[in-house]
Amino acid sequence: DSAPALVTLAALHAGDAVRARSVIGRTLADGADDPMFAHRHRLLQVAVDAGLVALAYLGAYLLRFDNGIPPRYEDLLRDTILFVVIGKVAIFAAFGMYHKWWRYVGLRDLEAILKAAVVASLVMVGALFIWSPTDNDIPRSVAVMDLLLTVALIGGVRLAVRSVVERPPRGAVLPKGAEVLIVGGGEAG
């Protein structure tokens, strides 16, 4: 969408730097990222999510089997982990989880993460039930723990990024002065 770029250029040409910054801030807050950085941050988000999904899937097996994973389930884990990671990340992408910078995550985004994780887990369990590379089906307890760990890890990392970005630097002195009301949203405000 080139409308924000045209408005920004027109505002800069007219000498209205405040309006230009407002448009740029709204554009970034809405998730329409600067094209120069869009692919890099999305690839990083997909890579981090893929690692977290793999960690959640492995963690579910480790939590289910306290004394070590039995060999038959080790084979199932080894044969299905790549399928699960690719499938879940693809479903997360279909839910639009990579259209926004993590620094702007809010409660609505956590709700979307929960919905995407539930759908991804149901699809993966159904697919693994229909297509099982081994004679064993995925244990129900592993499926439930995988869902819970996926939601906790995916949502937790996004909230951690936001809290780190919003936190003032250590040792920073907060300015004292008159209270003001800021009108606007995101970086523009």
Percent of the chain with pLDDT over 90: 30
> Torsion angle, CA of 17/18/19/25, rounded to 10 degrees?
110
Q: Which two tokens stand for residue 4?
A: 């924000």
Please tell me whether residue 99 adopts helix, strand or coil conformation. Answer: coil
Q: How many residues does the chain have?
A: 189
pLDDT in tens, 79-102: 889 999 999 999 999 988 887 777
Region 38-45 average pLDDT: 76
Query: Which residue would you say has higher pLDDT here, 101 or 115?
Result: 115
Residue pair 124/88 in contact (Cβ under 8 Å)? The answer is yes
Q: Which two tokens stand for residue 117?
A: 């994780």
Q: In this predicted structure, what is the pLDDT of residue 181?
A: 73
Q: In this predicted structure, what is the pLDDT of residue 153?
A: 94
Rounded CA separation 156/109 (Å): 12
CA-wise closest residue to 158 among 80, 105, 107, 100: 105
Burial class of residue 30 in the structure, from the number of CB atoms within 10 Å of its CB (0-12 exposed, 13-18 middle, 19+ buried)? middle
Query: Which residue would you say has higher pLDDT here, 176 or 78?
Result: 78
Residue pair 186/29 in contact (Cβ under 8 Å)? The answer is yes
Region 115-127 average pLDDT: 92
The whole model's pTM is what? 0.67
Q: CB neighbours (10 Å) of residue 21?
A: 16
